[in-house]
Structure 1
Amino acid sequence: MSVFNYLDRSLLGLALPLIKREFGSSDTVLGLVSGMAFVLLYSLIGLPIAWLADRANRRNIVAAGLAFWSLMTIATGYVSSILQLAAARLLLGAGEAAALPPANSIIADLFPKSRRPLAMAIFGTANSIAFIALFPLAGWIAQHYGWRTMFIAMGLPGLVLAPVLLLAVREPARTIASPPRLEGSARAVMRGIAELFRNRCYVWLFVGVTLMGANVWAAGAWTPTFFTRVHGMSLGEVAGIVGPVRGVVSAAGILFGGLLIDRISASRPAWQILIPALACMTAGPAEALLLLGESRPVWFVGLAAASFFTLIHQGPIYAAVTHVVRVDQRALAIAMILLGASFLGNAIGPTAVGLINDALQPRLGDAAIRYSMLLIAVTPLLAGLCMVFAARNYEA
């Protein structure tokens, strides 16, 4: 499920050069469609879905979301205008909102507190698997059969997987004796959110993950376009290099971080957050090397290093969130973290890169994207600082 969750949202970034050629849209519009159009419903609907997941069958919620977002991926292949593309992207986000909060809540019930960072790190490798196994295939389909066929082909497997998920996965017993009742209101959700933000550690984690969201979403949306404009690569070449490198190396980074944190002494819990903080701070210079490097060996090292360090934070930070909130608020807490990483992260991610790129392009031409994307080198440094502040409150 999670593999297709990451894959389907990433396909538009791969197709942007072809879509720009067909629809003639500006980079600002493409940034809005790839970013804000997706996260608007993804973030807002994620909150009531997470509230429901704390009270109802989480497996059923995930399966329903998988079927719906797969349909929207297929529908993207049939759009005939930029407005229809934005609508399909909007609904794709609504479906994908049903994935990560319930899934992380399930994992929290399946594993004890000491093993959750590693369990969630392994779950986080779904993003890497998508890049390794399916991103090159998607690029090959787009190059030889068109971007529309790519969306249709990548959406079909999710429709098959949704009923399999219902039949093969059981809803685990919750670690809380009696879950909250299903009855409630929007006011109850808002009270829960207000309680979360009275937790100082949670606030710093929220801001840090939001800044990393800006990095991840901007890189996902614009890296293929960067390589086609600056280095003259075809979509097939981009998918064949970026997909496997990001997939294999980021999986290694995620697992390395999870294993390292899994071995931290219980007497030094702050390092469960300090290690992700150091990883984020290292990812920033690596992104700059990728963007500013002229020769292939130089930018390839930057790509590999950024891929290794960028996602180390996800599993440990999600696990830390489940440790610092009440058991009956886990899904809601994760949903708010995703709202920051997705909605707010996109506001300063793909859209900002598109705006800056349009402003610089008259003077710098195709090279403008090299400098507008330096945003993804700054945000990890700031995110790391936020996580350092969170670590100071985590032990308490």
Structure 2
Amino acid sequence: MPTDAVPPVPPIPVRSVPPPTKAPPPGAPRRWRQLALLGGLLNVDNSESSVQSVLFPALRASLGLPLAALGQLVAASKLAHAVAGPLWVALARRWPRKNVLAVCCGFWGVWTAAMGLAQNFVQLLVLGTIASAGIAGGGPLVNGLVADLFDDADRGRAAGVLYGIAALGLGITGPLLGLLSDVENGWRYGFFASGTVQVVFGVLILAFLRDPGVGARDGARSGPAAVARLTRAQFRGLLRNRTLLLICVQRLTTGQFILISFGVTFLVDERGFTNATASLVTPAVTVTYLLGTFLGGFVADRVHRRHPRTGRIAAMQTAIVAYAVVAYAATQIDWGPMWVYMVVFGLVGGVQSVNPGINRPVVMSVVLPELRSAAFALMLSVEAAGWAISSLLVGYLGDAFGLQTAFLWLAVVLMLANGALVTLLYRPYVRDAAAVRSELARRAAATIGGAKQA
């Protein structure tokens, strides 16, 4: 595979005006603090699915549900993500992004709290679907904001920190949620607490988030009118972006998420641990996930600087294949004591965690600033659909053949095929990233030329 650098864009011969991409954007002070706030927001949004996954054995016993019910709950949640995500992005093109975030990822938490009042599976399914429809706006909008807070050289590290913070809460709350399994109707208290924290974060977003503006770190800052327009031609152009489409196919066919949804239940059903004991894997996974996101984003940025043509794609492919290997070790071998499972599941979390620091910057580098939130909405919607399909398959296969067999095919074999699929990304990524750099350079030149004439 070629690793030589893309030929640089010829510099603009202007002495008196510095390049816009080097100037700190006036709307993005304290960008790492802003990133921490956004990471905390994603953290509390993930808490709803954490309650559902960690406490499902207790919830199942309380409501008399089969294993397939967890697959149906996750599938409905992710399908709601797939449908609602683009709608929130469309709203954010007409109203301030932070206001939309505060509503969809903050105040919408009342629906998460309402899940604790469910008296049967249908009520739980309906309330969970409504709650997930709000949370769906977080991923695309937050990733768009990160792209506007950090330039291309730092986006891998920023994405790693973002998703590391987002995972931190699970490590803290996982064992606490496990303790609730020993309390009568403890799963209800988990949903009440999760929804309350979401609402609190909605207030924090309104009070402290500062939107830097679309394109602030690319020298192509757009005004509200420009951001509000997403023409059909632009959307068709987005669909013609081969890199983005291939990443969407890769996210649709990934099996990485099923261990997140079914891991604790697997340890209860297949390895005989109690719900409270099985939940102890969550802090172990969180520690390695944090290390993986921080180190993964940093290493991915270093690899990209040394090999800008192929570095990020090669890192993505390596991480996917490595995941299949450690997933096999975690699910196909009976290790015995819980501390060993904490180690092997920790390895799974560490390998999985490097992906946001790789694939998010890939999307950012092949899509123009004003289209990034729409691109992330498309990618995350497809990803949610894939998560829904794999969750349904795991639920039904688990009931029929056991979770160990289901994991073999969907977390190991499918992931090896997924890694092979990434090979198709090398050439289109080089072409699409170069096209975006060229367009941004043209815009920067036009901006400087207009300033000189004025």
Q: TM-score, normalised by structure 1?
A: 0.90
Q: How much has 1:394 moved relative to structure 2?
A: 1.3
Note the residue ranges of structure 2 that are not aligned, 5 or more in a row.
Answer: 1-40, 216-220, 432-454
1:154 aligns with 2:189: no
Task: Give 1:46-57 correspondences, 5 Å limit.
Answer: 46-57=85-96
**Cα gap change, 1:192 to 1:12, in 2 (>3 Å):** farther
Residue matched to 1:381 = 416
Q: Work out the CA distance in 1 between the residues paired with 2:374 and 2:407.
A: 32
Query: Which of 171, 177, 187 is the matching residue for 2:222?
Result: 177
Checking the alignment, whether the CA contact within 8 Å between 1:31 and 1:351 is kept in structure 2 is yes
Task: Give 1:1-396 correspondences, 5 Å limit.
Answer: 1-33=41-73, 35-145=74-184, 146-175=186-215, 176-181=221-226, 188=231, 192-212=234-254, 214-216=255-257, 218-239=258-279, 241-264=280-303, 266=305, 268-269=307-308, 270-295=310-335, 296=337, 299-347=341-389, 349-360=390-401, 368-374=402-408, 375-396=410-431
Q: How much has 1:193 moved relative to structure 2?
A: 4.4
Stretch deviating more after TM superposition (92-101 or 290-299): 290-299
Q: How much has 1:336 moved relative to structure 2?
A: 0.9
Counterpart residue type for residue 310 of structure 1: Q
Q: How much has 1:203 moved relative to structure 2?
A: 1.6
Counterpart residue type for residue 212 of structure 2: P
Counterpart residue type for residue 197 of structure 1: L
Counterpart residue type for residue 293 of structure 1: I
Q: Work out the CA distance in 1 between the residues paired with 2:123 and 2:44.
A: 22
Stretch deviating more after TM superposition (102-111 or 301-310): 301-310
Q: How much has 1:183 moved relative to structure 2?
A: 6.1
Q: Work out the CA distance in 2 between the residues paired with 1:107 and 1:265.
A: 18
Counterpart residue type for residue 223 of structure 2: S
Instruction: Kindly provide the CA deviation profile for residues 139-165 of structure 1, in whole angstroms up to 9, marking residues without a partner as x.
Output: 222323521112112221222221122
Query: Higher helix proportion, which one?
Result: 1
Counterpart residue type for residue 68 of structure 2: T
Q: Work out the CA distance in 2 between the residues paired with 1:193 and 1:386.
A: 25
Stretch deviating more after TM superposition (12-21 or 111-120): 12-21
**Cα gap change, 1:103 to 1:20, in 2 (>3 Å):** same
Q: Work out the CA distance in 2 between the residues paired with 1:114 and 1:55.
A: 30
- The alignment partner of 2:105 has SS state of helix
Q: Work out the CA distance in 1 between the residues paired with 2:235 and 2:48.
A: 29
Q: How much has 1:355 moved relative to structure 2?
A: 1.1
Checking the alignment, whether the CA contact within 8 Å between 1:290 and 1:300 is kept in structure 2 is no
Checking the alignment, whether the CA contact within 8 Å between 1:45 and 1:94 is kept in structure 2 is yes
Q: TM-score, normalised by structure 2?
A: 0.79
Q: Work out the CA distance in 2 between the residues paired with 1:21 and 1:265.
A: 49
Checking the alignment, whether the CA contact within 8 Å between 1:68 and 1:95 is kept in structure 2 is no
Residue matched to 1:363 = none
Checking the alignment, whether the CA contact within 8 Å between 2:48 and 2:112 is kept in structure 1 is yes
Q: How much has 1:106 moved relative to structure 2?
A: 1.0
Q: How much has 1:298 moved relative to structure 2?
A: 5.6
Q: How much has 1:78 moved relative to structure 2?
A: 0.4
Q: Work out the CA distance in 2 between the residues paired with 1:248 and 1:352.
A: 29
- Give aligned pairs, total: 381
**Cα gap change, 1:227 to 1:192, in 2 (>3 Å):** farther
Q: Work out the CA distance in 1 between the residues paired with 2:324 and 2:304.
A: 28
- The alignment partner of 1:395 has SS state of helix
Checking the alignment, whether the CA contact within 8 Å between 1:208 and 1:382 is kept in structure 2 is no
CA RMSD of aligned residues (A): 2.1
Checking the alignment, whether the CA contact within 8 Å between 1:107 and 1:119 is kept in structure 2 is yes
**Cα gap change, 1:331 to 1:180, in 2 (>3 Å):** farther
Counterpart residue type for residue 407 of structure 2: M
Q: How much has 1:340 moved relative to structure 2?
A: 1.4
Counterpart residue type for residue 79 of structure 2: L
Stretch deviating more after TM superposition (1-10 or 24-33): 24-33
Instruction: Kindly provide the CA deviation profile for residues 94-125 of structure 1, in whole angstroms up to 9, marking residues without a partner as x.
Output: 11012111111111111111111111111011
**Cα gap change, 1:69 to 1:134, in 2 (>3 Å):** farther
Counterpart residue type for residue 111 of structure 2: M
Q: Work out the CA distance in 2 between the residues paired with 1:197 and 1:386.
A: 19
**Cα gap change, 1:177 to 1:161, in 2 (>3 Å):** closer
- The alignment partner of 2:183 has SS state of helix
Note the residue ranges of structure 1 that are not aligned, 5 or more in a row.
Answer: 361-367
Checking the alignment, whether the CA contact within 8 Å between 1:66 and 1:158 is kept in structure 2 is yes
Q: Work out the CA distance in 2 between the residues paired with 1:382 and 1:78.
A: 42
